[in-house]
Amino acid sequence: MASRKMQDTEREALIAHAQALADIARAAILPWFRKPALAADNKADEGFDPVTQADRASEEAMRAYLRAHRPEDGILGEEFAPVESRSGLTWVLDPVDGTRGFLAGTPCWGVLIALADSEGPFLGVIDQPYIGERFLGGLGQGWTVGPQGERALRTRESVALEEAVLFTTFPEIGTEAERAAFGRVARAVRLTRYGMDCYAYALLAAGHVDLVIEAGLNAYDIAAPQAVIAAAGGIVTNWQGGRVDAGGQVIAAANSALHAQALALLQGA
């Protein structure tokens, strides 16, 4: 694809647009965080899938920027209708990934921004506005910046499965069969933790977490983590080892050897 054969100036421009989107989302979201009056509507027929003014304000602000600066590009966002691409490029937006955590006042939610073509996401941003942390990967870059400064992103290259740190957002992951598959991996690793939403993927890219396994994701949940983790040296697939652009079952691993071991357990080996 032409998008993978860009001039340096094109790459720099797209990275600048991704950063601008993250800045805009921060400004739209932070006035709502930890506000007692924040209301949440439930989008789910069963259970609780909240959306707030912060989600809508963030996505509206990012869409307005793209209309002004990248009108030929498509948009796939969580809260509003998709916009068809006329350029071959699509921005994939999750304005607040982890709205349940946002409502609870925890700082483990984030803004997800990805740029994709027909081959999948190739640029991603995971941004945590409250902490002031940003993780960016793709187009030759992979770095994180936050309260402790800036450094390169790099997944852990060598870690045994029995020493690995595993994350998933919900203890009650997916179906009964999916929970059983996850349990096989959880029993094999050193430490299993829950509830981090997109922040777990950022920690994997930064070398602190080794595995993230989830089910029932949407495209906008995983596009940005895919690009960020790939830029850091990790791997993200579905539970069959294939592409995960559309979401569903997801396994992210720090390296290919760990990925193969965990994948075999998920598949019942």
Supply the CATH number for residue 135's domain: 3.30.540.10
Domain interval for residue 83: 2-152
Residues 239 and 203 reside in one and the same domain: yes
Residues 6+ apart with CB under 8 A from 8: none
Quickly list DSSP for 161-228.
GGG-EEEES-TT-SSHHHHHHHHHHHTTSSEEEE--THHHHHHHHTTS--EEEEEEEEHHHHHHHHHH
Q: The tokens of 10 are what?
A: 């094109």
3-class SS letters over 92-150: EEEEEECHHHHHHCCCCCEEEEEEEECCEEEEEEEEECCCCEEEEEECCEEEEEECCEE
Q: pTM score, two decimals? A: 0.95
Residues 131 and 186 reside in one and the same domain: no
Lowest mean pLDDT among 45-59, 95-109, 165-179, 230-244: 45-59
For residue 105, how far is the Cα from the chain centroid? 20
Sign of the Cα pseudo-torsion (173, 75, 43, 194, in order): positive
* Mean pLDDT, residues 57-74 taken together: 98
Residues 14 and 146 reside in one and the same domain: yes
Supply the CATH number for residue 257's domain: 3.40.190.80
Q: The tokens of 132 are what?
A: 């002031």
Residues 106 and 170 reside in one and the same domain: no
Residues 145 and 186 reside in one and the same domain: no
Start-to-end CA distance of the chain, whole Å, equals 37
Give CA–CA dist 116/126, Å, rounded: 15
Q: Is 81 exposed, middle or buried (0-12, 13-18, 19+ CB in 10 A)?
A: exposed
Give the relative orientation of helices 176-186 and 256-266 as an angle to the nearest 10 degrees.
130
Percent of residues, the chain, with pLDDT higher than 70:
99
Give CA–CA dist 2/258, Å, rounded: 33
List, for residues 118-154, the tens digit of each pLDDT value.
999 999 999 999 999 999 999 999 999 999 999 999 9
Better-scored residue on pLDDT, 101 or 38: 101
Residues 175 and 142 reside in one and the same domain: no
pLDDT of 1 over the 60 cut: no
Nearest to 250 by CA among 258, 241, 98, 204: 241
List, for residues 7-23, the tens digit of each pLDDT value.
999 999 999 999 999 99
Residues 9 and 107 reside in one and the same domain: yes
Residues 137 and 17 reside in one and the same domain: yes
Residue-averaged pLDDT of the chain: 95
Looking at residue 4, what is its pLDDT?
66
Looking at residue 158, what is its pLDDT?
84
Give CA–CA dist 50/179, Å, rounded: 23
Q: Examine the fold and report which residue of 127, 152, 177 is the final residue of a domain before the chain moves on.
A: 152
Does an H or E element contain 251, and which? Answer: strand 247-253
Residues 54 and 112 reside in one and the same domain: yes
Residues 137 and 192 reside in one and the same domain: no
How many structural domains does the chain have? 2
Q: The tokens of 37 are what?
A: 């009056």
Percent of residues, the chain, with pLDDT higher than 90:
89
Give CA–CA dist 173/189, Å, rounded: 17
Of the pLDDT bands very low, low, confident and very high (cuts 50, 70, 90), residue 235 is very high
Residues 134 and 252 reside in one and the same domain: no
Phi-psi region of 235 (alpha: psi -120 to 50; beta: other; left: phi over 0): beta
Residues 139 and 194 reside in one and the same domain: no
* Mean pLDDT, residues 207-232 taken together: 97
* Mean pLDDT, residues 59-78 taken together: 98
Does an H or E element contain 76, and which? Answer: strand 74-77
Looking at residue 2, what is its pLDDT?
41
Place of tokens 């598949």: 267
